[in-house]
């Protein structure tokens, strides 16, 4: 029943999207034969085998039937520097004819907002196509940690892990320290999340500050069923319905407007989920076809079943227009909030 309701919700959302795009109008389908016999390149901004790669390849299997002409789609991994290599390539090198799209890590559109100097793109000029999900991030600790609650982590030092010193886990660790005044010792340098998790099991660290709920359920489901980890905090733009027992950051900050706004802006990346993107200047009618194709894919029962089989969360879709608004709203945040966000990004623990 839960899956049926989720599927029904997707169908309703997709139908609304099609109406918004002008479904049935000659303008949207003016170039519907463009994709016939063509090959679309789908760049993935991370290495093979991870969550982004899995969802990208799943979408690539189902998207062709929802594009006029049923083009083939070839997935190309282009990992490195947190997705910046792929983003810089998409913005500056990729064709702008609708034959190159990408799945970018959800922090990529916000890197200029953070003050990252490696950025060679204007995120507001990317054409966002849609996302099958939103992410909820968690502050987790191993069951042997003395930190039983978030308040405990304010009173005694907790050893948390991250990959690189400038990685997303490290950034969110610094953010939670800044907002909630946690006492944290950060160990960075793990090659990937799996290495970080193995080190947690060995007792090298106590936990992590930005584990996605969707990833935890897929990669370490036994940790949940066997109570191997404690979930001290969840954050994002909306709370997750499966985590009613876990404190939600924005609720804790309802009487602290500056901290709440900082948390909202920093959480915008999570609301993008696993976003699909096209370069700037794609012809409007082809962009409409791509957005329509992704909306139909995310409502496709076979796509949803494929996601379920792999343990992927694909039941909270967003349209390209919705994602575009999230990005625009973040860049419109008050200057003092953006400056504080940049200080957190540049700081070290």
Check pLDDT > 90 for residue 19.
no
Q: Given pLDDT bands bounded at 50, 70 and 90, which one contains residue 165? A: confident
Position 13 scores a pLDDT of 52
Question: Is the CATH number of domain 137-268 3.40.50.12780?
Answer: no
Instruction: Please say whether the beta carbons of 58 and 307 come within 8 A.
Output: yes
What are residue 144's phi and psi, to 5 degrees?
-85, -5
Instruction: Please say whether the beta carbons of 44 and 86 come within 8 A.
Output: yes
Position 3 scores a pLDDT of 43
CA atoms of 65 and 73, how far apart (whole Å): 11
CA atoms of 263 and 178, how far apart (whole Å): 10
Point out the least confidently predicted range of 268-277, 284-293, 309-318. 309-318
Position 2 scores a pLDDT of 41
What is the average pLDDT score of the chain?
90
Position 21 scores a pLDDT of 46
How do 158-161 and 184-187 pair as beta strands? parallel
Structure token pair of residue 327: 């990005």
Position 33 scores a pLDDT of 83
- Tell me the per-residue pLDDT of 183-192, one tens digit each, with 9 for 90 and over: 999 999 888 7
Position 7 scores a pLDDT of 42
Q: Give the DSSP H/E element, type plus range, for residue 348.
A: none
Q: How many CB atoms lie within 10 A of CB 17?
A: 24
- Tell me the per-residue pLDDT of 243-286, one tens digit each, with 9 for 90 and over: 999 999 999 999 999 999 999 999 999 999 999 999 999 999 99
Q: Given pLDDT bands bounded at 50, 70 and 90, which one contains residue 57? A: very high
Query: Which ranges of 137-248 does DSSP label H, i.e. alpha helix?
Result: 152-155, 168-180, 193-202, 213-219, 221-225
In the chain, CATH 3.40.190.150 covers 2-133+273-337
Single pTM value for the model: 0.81
Residues 6+ apart with CB under 8 A from 49: none
Check pLDDT > 90 for residue 127.
yes
Check pLDDT > 50 for residue 6.
no
Check pLDDT > 70 for residue 162.
yes
Question: Is the CATH number of domain 2-133+273-337 3.40.50.2300?
Answer: no
In the chain, CATH 3.40.190.10 covers 137-268
């Amino acid at each position: 029943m839960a899956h049926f309701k989720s599927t029904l919700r997707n169908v309703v959302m997709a139908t609304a999207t099609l109406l918004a795009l002008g479904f049935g109008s000659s303008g949207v389908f003016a170039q519907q034969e463009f994709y016939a016999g063509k090959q679309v390149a789908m760049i993935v901004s991370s290495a093979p085998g991870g969550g982004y790669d899995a969802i990208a390849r799943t979408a690539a299997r189902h998207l062709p039937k929802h594009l006029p002409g049923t083009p083939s789609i070839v997935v190309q991994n282009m990992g490195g520097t947190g997705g910046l290599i792929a983003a810089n390539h998409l913005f500056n090198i990729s064709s702008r004819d609708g034959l190159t799209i990408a799945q970018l890590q959800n922090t990529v559109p916000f890197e200029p907002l953070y003050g990252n100097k490696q950025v060679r793109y204007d995120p507001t000029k990317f054409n966002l196509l849609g996302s099958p999900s939103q992410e909820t991030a968690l502050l987790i600790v191993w069951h042997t940690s003395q930190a039983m609650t978030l308040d405990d982590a304010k009173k005694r030092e907790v050893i948390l892990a991250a990959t690189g010193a400038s990685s997303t886990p490290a950034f969110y660790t610094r953010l939670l320290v800044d907002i909630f005044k946690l006492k944290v010792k950060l160990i960075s340098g793990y090659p990937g999340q799996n290495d970080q998790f193995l080190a947690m099991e060995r007792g090298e660290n106590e936990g992590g500050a930005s584990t996605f709920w969707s990833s935890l359920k897929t990669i370490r489901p036994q940790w949940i069923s066997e109570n191997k980890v404690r979930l001290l905090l969840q954050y994002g733009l909306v709370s997750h319905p499966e985590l009613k027992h876990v404190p939600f950051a924005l609720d804790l900050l309802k009487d602290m407007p500056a901290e709440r706004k900082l948390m909202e802006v920093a959480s915008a990346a999570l609301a993008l989920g696993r976003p699909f993107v096209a370069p700037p200047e794609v012809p409007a009618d082809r962009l409409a076809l791509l957005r329509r194709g992704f909306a139909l894919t995310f409502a496709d029962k076979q796509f949803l079943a494929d996601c379920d089989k792999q343990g992927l969360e694909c039941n909270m879709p967003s349209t390209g227009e919705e994602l575009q608004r999230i990005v625009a709203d973040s860049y419109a945040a008050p200057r003092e909030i953006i400056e504080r966000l940049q200080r957190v990004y540049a700081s070290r623990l």
